[in-house]
Structure 1
């Protein structure tokens, strides 16, 4: 018997065992233990529980009372989480939702099921947005999930302007909010959003939170708030107007602003950014260099100051032969794509789309990020720091065909995978991200 046949036989054997145990669970055959959570009973098999959970293995082999008990009561574990974890043990099917993922993660943590913990964390990472990142951050800290906490913290700080408008942030505790708004790392362009958040947080439960108003206002950099906003905020909120200490803080800030005294306060992260228009050149008929020759027209323009800054071209050295399209991710990574330079292409067996990322430090500003199967007239999009190569024209058996396929590149994992296709083949289109949604517009479809 060859190796592959033997491997298939073993796989069939394992699947048969799994299927039979699953059927016995469904028909409640040879049940030897019943789990009880929130009064709900779950008949199952000790051997399955022990195989997947070190917690249950220790329970059933320790020689204590649980070894012989027909029912095991699970305290502080929800019935819903047990109803999700048990099917996973019997069938590898873990049905996570936005509503149950945290309770399932807690139960898995209690049962010492590391695989389920990892899947729950990945689910929360993949579905993180402005409406839930605060809860995920504090939940991850609570259970000691450091990677998840770091990811949620980065998302929370990077998107704080949007997060501050969500209902979830109004539910956090005083010390949590104080620590947040004290940070220099919040990506907000205007201090008004911090002041507005403090007012909304206190008003959300005014009777219980009014005592914290002054301490929270001390963390707001009032001299960075526009005078009109300060005056309007005080006028519209009696809790500020009727508090002498709050009034004094506002008056002092207004005087400082009026005197144009430079505040000794550091700016927050988002206040030090500059909006730029990027032009990544594509031919040698661009801007004349200081040496007299023509270079690629790669530069950026700051509308606020009307200044132009020149940047290195991705076509230098063995970079791109041409630049087809580009995007800027939510982490401000500049990404361009095109086909390899002639020098690099001469060493390749197949032609690819080459994707480069701009680095602000080091001697080589543009670094190769990844590559994928060649197509033309495609769109490059970005969402949640993932890249999407969308549609375009591909050469199949010496014939050019317009495609609807979409490839997604995870910058975190460094891997490609196919994702949901376009509803129709499309070429010469564009992609844009607005409010966490990726839109495709324009282009043309092949004639039938």
Structure 2
């Protein structure tokens, strides 16, 4: 057996025995030699235990040479919630504490005041796991106030990752200057365009104009003006009324104008013997230029358009231009035959699929819903659909996701209902929308009836390809033009097949995989899954084969998504 494993087992065994013994001593009031008094409540404890867990109490109970301080059998603590203190004492003796969103802030404040690192660390762990769009600003401020770099950095990174979702929020506009600069000053900011940083700063300034104009010059050092298009700089930055009215900022604007023309300030000459003149090899040099001339790309500027392929093993992003694949997330919990949707907000939802929960005897068939968090590569479980269904399709409008028709897995009946999920309200419920009681606009029928076909909106038209009808597999494609309200012929796919994944990506149309009739070695023709990739060439009006086989496409649903290549491991 591994010696380290033996040591760890012995340590855990002894720690457990010690913890159980301490808890028993407290519960049975044995060897108690101290009372902590808060208001009219008293908490018996042991000075040795409190001193071992807290430098604050060690200083109260013992001198530097280890002698007991007289008159410390009762210690009065002011401005403390007795319930919170009770929870902390119980944790020191039992290693058990019930942290909640309501009490964690009070507990970490008391732990910080009385220098109890174990409780403080438990609270920090809890807050890190609970980071969300709704609380990240508050947790960031808390980390700064408590001088806890780990918590502050975790929250700052969370905000930087989701900056485009947060910069318009009221909480963002309330940030103090030093808090704002800590967020927008680094390379890790997840923005594709520096224009967004400039606009966020100016919105922040205008939120409290009189006070914040004074620090705008400092804020300029966090904006990388050389990453802005020169036209945007002239049209938006130079003409801003606040900037035009500040003589000091006008000097900065002139330096940036010169930088766009290739004229940078001269590097300051270092005096002989000045500290730092001899840099060790590998040590990073600080930029000799001010922050507003920094032209290092932000991390978010490495985003590209990918074809995302999701099956029950992994979610893989394929860059058609570079012919590269990246691992987005493992997806072993995603069922087969699911349906995927990439929303206009670039969020990936997985709905449904054939899944049988063998542990649930009453309701074994389930229709799960997942949302991909691209920053953590985790699938977030959302409320499942009320009834399991398959062979449906999904779409979105505004903040609503719609699941249309399909087949009920319990009754095997074809459905005409539509399920709707409100993403923004996150009400943890769905409601049924009956099309028979509402009004649907009927569009002209396709020229060829079909099922199990590929469909996508591309360049303002609905493109459908392949599928199945009464005669078998088909290759015919059609396009619906919203302007003319008519279906028109579209270049036929080179092979009859069903279940094609059509993807509109960076202005180009792609077809991935599907099922075709393939002749086997025994000369028998059977339906077989193919995993090739085709591109439609608009200028030639033809389909061109790109890849004969894309192994990650097997059993996959495909969508177009914009992802950051710098965050994903290359396959």
Same fold (TM over 0.5): yes
The DSSP-based 3-state class of the residue aligned with 1:275 is strand
Alignment length (residue pairs): 345
TM-score scaled by length of structure 1: 0.55
Q: Judging changes above 3 Å, is the alpha-carbon distance between structure 1 residues 269 and 213 closer, same or farther for their aligned structure 2 residues?
A: same
**Cα distance, 1:188 vs. partner?**
0.8
Partner of 2:492: none
Q: Deviations over 1:392-430 (max 9, x none)?
A: 422749x994135789999999999x9786353535478
User: Could you tell me which of 341, 344, 365 is aligned with 1:402?
Assistant: 365
Partner of 2:318: 300
The DSSP-based 3-state class of the residue aligned with 1:300 is strand
Q: Judging changes above 3 Å, is the alpha-carbon distance between structure 1 residues 205 and 415 closer, same or farther for their aligned structure 2 residues?
A: closer
CA distance in 2, matches of 1:171, 1:419: 32
Considering only aligned residues, what root-mean-square deviation do their CA atoms show, in Å? Answer: 5.7
Q: Deviations over 1:281-303 (max 9, x none)?
A: 99xxxxxxxxxxxxxxx9835xx
Equivalent pair of 1:195/1:220 in contact (CA under 8 Å): yes
Q: Judging changes above 3 Å, is the alpha-carbon distance between structure 1 residues 232 and 415 closer, same or farther for their aligned structure 2 residues?
A: closer
CA distance in 1, matches of 2:403, 2:47: 51
CA distance in 2, matches of 1:65, 1:222: 64
1:42-121, aligned counterparts within 5 Å? Answer: 42-47=41-46, 50=49, 54-55=53-54, 58=58, 59=60, 63-65=68-70, 67-69=72-74, 71-74=75-78, 81-82=84-85, 85=88, 92-97=96-101, 100-121=103-124
Q: Judging changes above 3 Å, is the alpha-carbon distance between structure 1 residues 308 and 213 closer, same or farther for their aligned structure 2 residues?
A: closer
CA distance in 2, matches of 1:249, 1:50: 59
Q: Deviations over 1:87-118 (max 9, x none)?
A: 75698442422x64334213223445444323
Q: Deviations over 1:45-74 (max 9, x none)?
A: 2249947972386445763255223x5124
Partner of 1:286: none
Q: Note if 1:334 corresponds to 2:324.
A: no
Q: Judging changes above 3 Å, is the alpha-carbon distance between structure 1 residues 183 and 57 closer, same or farther for their aligned structure 2 residues?
A: closer
CA distance in 1, matches of 2:324, 2:132: 33
Partner of 1:426: 388
CA distance in 1, matches of 2:165, 2:155: 14
The DSSP-based 3-state class of the residue aligned with 1:35 is strand
Partner of 1:240: 243
Q: Note if 1:152 corresponds to 2:152.
A: no
Q: Judging changes above 3 Å, is the alpha-carbon distance between structure 1 residues 121 and 388 closer, same or farther for their aligned structure 2 residues?
A: farther
Q: Judging changes above 3 Å, is the alpha-carbon distance between structure 1 residues 243 and 222 closer, same or farther for their aligned structure 2 residues?
A: same
Partner of 2:295: 265
Q: Note if 1:447 corresponds to 2:410.
A: yes
1:20-59, aligned counterparts within 5 Å? Answer: 21=27, 33-36=35-38, 40-47=39-46, 50=49, 54-55=53-54, 58=58, 59=60
Q: Judging changes above 3 Å, is the alpha-carbon distance between structure 1 residues 60 and 125 closer, same or farther for their aligned structure 2 residues?
A: same
Q: Judging changes above 3 Å, is the alpha-carbon distance between structure 1 residues 45 and 190 closer, same or farther for their aligned structure 2 residues?
A: same
TM-score scaled by length of structure 2: 0.45
Q: Judging changes above 3 Å, is the alpha-carbon distance between structure 1 residues 424 and 123 closer, same or farther for their aligned structure 2 residues?
A: same
Partner of 1:310: 323
Equivalent pair of 2:357/2:366 in contact (CA under 8 Å): no
Runs of 4+ in 1 over 6 A off after TM superposition: 254-257, 259-264, 379-382, 387-391, 405-416, 418-421, 429-435, 437-440
CA distance in 1, matches of 2:394, 2:81: 43
**Comparing both structures, which one devotes a greater share of its residues to helix?**
1
> Higher RCO, 1 or 2 (CA under 8 Å, sep at least 6)?
2
